[in-house]
Amino acid sequence: MNRISMLQQLDENKTWDMLIIGGGATGLGTAVDAASRGFSTILIEADDFAKGTSSRSTKLVHGGVRYLEQGNLKLVREALQERGWLLKNAPHVTRKLGFVIPAFSVVQKIYYGSGLKFYDILSGKLSLGTTKFLSKKTTQNFLPGINQKNLSGGVIYYDGQFDDARLAINLANTAAKHGAVLLNYCEVVSILKKKIKPTDKQAKIYGVVAYDAINDKTFEIKSKVVINATGVFVDDIIQMDNSNSNEIVTPSQGIHLVVNKNFFPGNYALMIPKTDDKRVLFAVPWHNKIVIGTTDTEIEDISDEPIPLQEEIDFVLKHANRYLKTNIIINDVTSMFAGLRPLVRTKGVTNTSMLSRDHVIIVSHSNLITITGGKWTTYRKMAEDAVNNAIFVAKFSYKECITKHLKIANSEFDNINYDDAIEKIYSLENIKRFIENEMAITVEDVLARRTRLLFLDAKAAIQTAPRVAKEMAAIFNYGEHWIQLEIDNFTQLAKNYLP
């Protein structure tokens, strides 16, 4: 997967079967689905793959225990099936993980245990392990960092965990292997519409105008179908199509704090079953650190670099510290990051935590297909539904979806040991591979998404930036000016990840 060879496949005279806008979980999954069914497919991403919400999740491949409590059985069952297939198709970036809920009374233990046994039953043949009641002693053994005051026992259940940005890059490579063209740093700036048949009452979409920020070039791309998979930005594209459209997304921010493992040793995750705002909170081991989150805050401004609010940081610290032996203070945080959920607006619902996590597909009068909502875990099903709709809209002859059992590409970088020396992880040879096989263009691409150092330890990422910038410049044949600009840009951005 190489940007130069991708660009060489562009041809203004060609009409693609499917054009996908957005290179997050939804768009990349759709590209894999479309290309693997044999449709000629192009995906256009304004920034880097997974730059948006898809690199900022809690990293859980899950059915959503909380949605079970809300009674949304269909969503939970669907997500549990998807969880099972994803763990089978991408074992290199996913894993099964035990989650322990501490209980402080027998009633609590029975309540959580029975709910989770049902969660397990819903996963059917794709179950990851049996839910079990735990004694006080076993709970302490599984969660050595937990505050034992008033603890009466616990419940263990199993869910999945993954590296979100690495899975995104692997999906991009899978789509490319099936013949898709994917371009990062290429923004859709307008939509091309015209009356295609004399009988058409409405103008129909026949492509987009895209701007390649790397080569400072604007060009047209023609396609029989255009799919809008831009997450919290879907309304911008919908507005390009029809400026009279209503907005469909309510963005909701969630943050995570990352701390060293000594605060929470062991190999199990902690699930806090009820926060003050009646949600759940997790402390999850990830790449030898602990990711704690998340929040659910309705937000006005949509940004590609959302910033944790002070009240969200306080909320996460307060809830984690209720359960931990050793109090975490803000200076213990090695990285913090925020993401925006693209939640679909529902009439009468004022609290974002109550908005549905289901996905929706909307087809406009001009045939723009918008897909949003959902979760990382359900990206494959979302993609299948989007492509089925596209087949219908474009009147293509039907081709069966094959992604339920399609193996996802792997990479030597899926399981980096971040305790290895920086010189080993960011060797010239590895940087060359990030560029040539994974389309890394900037220092941020390498430190935030090809590797996850920025999300694990922002200070270490800032210290590593000059080395990565120099090596990238050597490969691209760029000069001192580019090196300095990249170091400055990355340092500026990474400061938002520091406490």
Ligand X SMILES: Cc1cc2nc3c(=O)[nH]c(=O)nc-3n(C[C@H](O)[C@H](O)[C@H](O)COP(=O)(O)OP(=O)(O)OC[C@H]3O[C@@H](n4cnc5c(N)ncnc54)[C@H](O)[C@@H]3O)c2cc1C
Part in contact with ligand X (CB under 6 A); list of ranges 24-32, 70-78, 126-134, 397-405: 24-32
Binders of ligand X among residues 345 to 404 (CB under 6 A) are 372, 374-377
Nearest approach in angstroms of CB 416 to ligand X is 20
Interacting residue with ligand X among 36, 294, 389, 403 (CB under 6 A): 294
Nearest approach in angstroms of CB 85 to ligand X is 13
Binding letters toward ligand X, positions 247-286, x by CB under 6 A:
-------x--------------------------------
Distances (CA, A) of 175 to 35, 44, 165, 418: 6, 13, 15, 28
Nearest approach in angstroms of CB 199 to ligand X is 31
**Which is nearer to ligand X, 156 or 172 (by Cβ)?**
172
**Which is nearer to ligand X, 343 or 435 (by Cβ)?**
343
**Which is nearer to ligand X, 23 or 273 (by Cβ)?**
23
Q: How far apart are CA 12 and CA 9, in angstroms?
A: 10
Nearest approach in angstroms of CB 120 to ligand X is 18
Binders of ligand X among residues 445 to 474 (CB under 6 A) are none
Part in contact with ligand X (CB under 6 A); list of ranges 151-159, 326-334, 340-348, 402-410: 340-348
Nearest approach in angstroms of CB 150 to ligand X is 29
**Which is nearer to ligand X, 143 or 249 (by Cβ)?**
249
**Which is nearer to ligand X, 133 or 286 (by Cβ)?**
286
Nearest approach in angstroms of CB 255 to ligand X is 7
Part in contact with ligand X (CB under 6 A); list of ranges 38-46, 102-110, 217-225, 419-427: 38-46
Binders of ligand X among residues 41 to 60 (CB under 6 A) are 44-47, 51-54, 56-60
Nearest approach in angstroms of CB 325 to ligand X is 25
Nearest approach in angstroms of CB 480 to ligand X is 29
Binders of ligand X among residues 176 to 235 (CB under 6 A) are 187-188, 229-233
Chain centre distance of CA 115: 27
Q: Where does this chain bind ligand X (CB under 6 A)? A: 21-27, 44-47, 51-54, 56-60, 62, 187-188, 229-233, 254, 294, 304, 339-342, 372, 374-377
